[in-house]
Structure 1
Amino acid sequence: MKGARCLVLGAGGFIGTNLCLALRAAGIDTTGFGRKSRPPPALAGLDRMLWLAGSIESLSDPDALVAGHTHVFDLIGAGLPNSSNDNPAQIVADGLPPKVRLLEACRRQGVQRTVFASSGGTVYGPAGDAPIPETAATEPISAYGIGKLTVEKYLALYRHLYGLEYRVLRIANAYGQHQDPNREQGLVAAVLHRLLGAGAIPLWGDGAVIRDYLHIDDVVAAFLAVAFLEAEPGADASRLFNVGSGIGRSVLSVIEDAARVTGCRPILDRHPGRSGDVAVNILDSTRLQRETGWGPRVGWEDGLARTAAWLRTPR
């Protein structure tokens, strides 16, 4: 980490806020880039933390943004998984050209390593086996997942052509502090928020969809592990890592566990199932654990309790 200077794209979001906090706690000079004119309250006033406002889609000079940074964390996604199929062409138009321009800037400016937040929940599609290894077939059933997978391929291309070093994290369903409970993305935060008094919990389908949930502290630890690992992998495949707990939980079981932790009775608002939802998605993170020593540290019920406590805290 010595001498590192990091640029976090999407720094105003859930993962971005937590990543910036962790980078600064490690003493790393950090630039946050986000859509809002000011940083989130959690990042305001941090020492050696620069905030730049803008959108990657309208960025006129990506070289100026990237210049001087050793590491670039790309946490920006085009659209949301469950609504991306409503307008697949827009996902391509909004998401792909800015990413390629960003890679061009990283190449020209001599960035040491880029780290891309991909989606372990959408790039595999309806995989047969679970937990899913990185070697499984990628057959996304959402435009969002296809967009993430396409960026992964461009990263590999730029390393092949120009030697631009990268890491990809295919992340499970992250939850924890600083997640907006009112967004379409983020089941745990939404369930806890509604249990704590915000109203009925939307339930899509029968609630049997199974996902892999991982606390944000463990997600951020994975980012730091792959960003600053000194040894270079011997094969391209080792630049790609799943990040998950390896444990599957149905939507209904998440609601039940959250209700038990909070002591609140859930009220369900039922809706038809969604076309972009695969039935089961559990990630095998053995490769990440083997090559970096990373492993989940936050237990499920402890993570729920910590998230509920954060949501209860006045802000």
Structure 2
Amino acid sequence: MNVVILGGIGFIGQHLIGSLQTNANVNITVFDRADPKSVDFAQDITYVQGNFTSGYDFRSLLHGADTIVHLISTSVPGTEKRVQDEITSNVIPSSELFESAVAEHVKNILFLSSGGTVYGDNGAVNSSEHDIPAPINTYGLQKIMIEQALHMITHGTETNYQIVRMSNPYGPGQNPFGPLGLITKLVYQALSGNEIHVFGDGSVVRDFIFIDDAVHAVLDILDHGNKNDIYNVGTGKGVSVAQVIEAIDAAIPETLHLVRERSRAVDVPYSVLNIEKLNAISTLDSYISLHEGIDRTYHYFKDGQQ
């Protein structure tokens, strides 16, 4: 199988590639804007450096591909752009990518959407794939627009799709200085003795999933999931920011230096996913616990400093 991974140098991409490399029958091409020298990829991986923009020659990139994994987004929650900018930077290039995939007779497209933003504020209810999306930020809006474009462009063609609405992945390999990854950032900041800035009173609830489990879920969807369908990926359990801080404080010897900040309008109070559909196809026996995930993340950074 020939797989093209767009955004393969990112956090999820690198872990996904690491898992796919264990299969000798999978040929991997990575597309990313980053310098390939910054990542220690195996020599048998093809790397294409380029910018994800309208007008790019996606047909050449996808020629001979069986599966596409689309992980690229030019924005993340907290760094959202204007609606027009999101459409220009993400929706239009994605649409051109999907049109090229159809033209090149690609069998399947897996698109990484956002379980944490597309549903908006559902109250204290676990969001299901059947719920009507109602994003309250432009990041979630562009994800929904791309989902709809993928459905429309592939409809009636031989190209199938799978949409993954992922919650909040964290763990080793995630950038602790980036805007994403609350647990990863808090663990790193605590280990480094830095101030930990927390938005609001800590009551915001999220669905956190360790990166190994997140990638396992993506592979299960690729291998066993329905075509032309949507899957939530998370643990199905909510944890408040305050509980995360308590767990980190209990798990590591360093002292936490907390600084409270005003809550943000883009943060919905409760965002947890219903994962019944994923569980029906999952080969995972159990999820890595919050305590174990924090411990693994802590030792990843701790060992790196030694």
The alignment's TM-score, normalised by the length of structure 2, stands at 0.94
3-state DSSP class of the match of 1:291? coil
Following the alignment from structure 1 to structure 2, what is the Cα–Cα distance between the partners of residues 61 and 201?
43
Please say if 1:175 is aligned against 2:170: yes
Name the residue aligned to 1:22: 19
> Structure 1 residues 61, 295: CA separation in 2 closer, same or farther (over 3 Å shift)?
farther
Select 1:281's aligned residue among 245, 268, 271.
Answer: 271
Name the residue aligned to 1:66: 62
Query: What is the count of residue pairs matched by the alignment?
Result: 304
Runs of 4+ with >6 A deviation: none
Gapped regions of structure 1 (runs ≥ 5): none
Shift of 1:26: 2.4
Gapped regions of structure 2 (runs ≥ 5): none
Following the alignment from structure 1 to structure 2, what is the Cα–Cα distance between the partners of residues 246 and 130?
11
Name the residue aligned to 2:76: 80
Select 2:8's aligned residue among 4, 7, 11.
Answer: 11
Shift of 1:292: 4.2
> Structure 1 residues 198, 64: CA separation in 2 closer, same or farther (over 3 Å shift)?
farther
Please say if 1:221 is aligned against 2:253: no
Following the alignment from structure 1 to structure 2, what is the Cα–Cα distance between the partners of residues 73 and 39?
22
Preserved contact between residue 33 and residue 50 of structure 2 (Cα < 8 Å): yes
Task: State the Cα RMSD in Å.
Answer: 1.7
Preserved contact between residue 62 and residue 105 of structure 1 (Cα < 8 Å): yes
Is the deviation greater in 292-301 or in 131-140? Answer: 292-301
Name the residue aligned to 1:31: 29
Following the alignment from structure 1 to structure 2, what is the Cα–Cα distance between the partners of residues 58 and 138?
26
Shift of 1:198: 4.7
Preserved contact between residue 102 and residue 154 of structure 2 (Cα < 8 Å): no
3-state DSSP class of the match of 2:291? helix
3-state DSSP class of the match of 1:60? coil
Following the alignment from structure 1 to structure 2, what is the Cα–Cα distance between the partners of residues 137 and 243?
17
Following the alignment from structure 1 to structure 2, what is the Cα–Cα distance between the partners of residues 129 and 270?
24
Q: Which amino acid in 1 is paired with 2:94? A: K
Shift of 1:296: 4.5
Q: Which amino acid in 1 is paired with 2:36? A: R
TM-superposition CA deviations, 1:194-226 (whole Å, max 9, x none): 010151111111111100000111111111111
Is the deviation greater in 125-134 or in 105-114? Answer: 125-134
Name the % identity. 28
3-state DSSP class of the match of 2:116? coil
Following the alignment from structure 1 to structure 2, what is the Cα–Cα distance between the partners of residues 143 and 232?
28
Name the residue aligned to 1:202: 197
Shift of 1:52: 1.5
Q: Which amino acid in 2 is paired with 1:273? A: S
Describe how 1:133-152 pairs up with structure 2 within 5 A.
Answer: 133-152=128-147
Name the residue aligned to 2:301: 311
Name the residue aligned to 1:106: 101
Following the alignment from structure 1 to structure 2, what is the Cα–Cα distance between the partners of residues 68 and 53?
18
Q: Which amino acid in 2 is paired with 1:37? A: D
Preserved contact between residue 78 and residue 144 of structure 1 (Cα < 8 Å): no
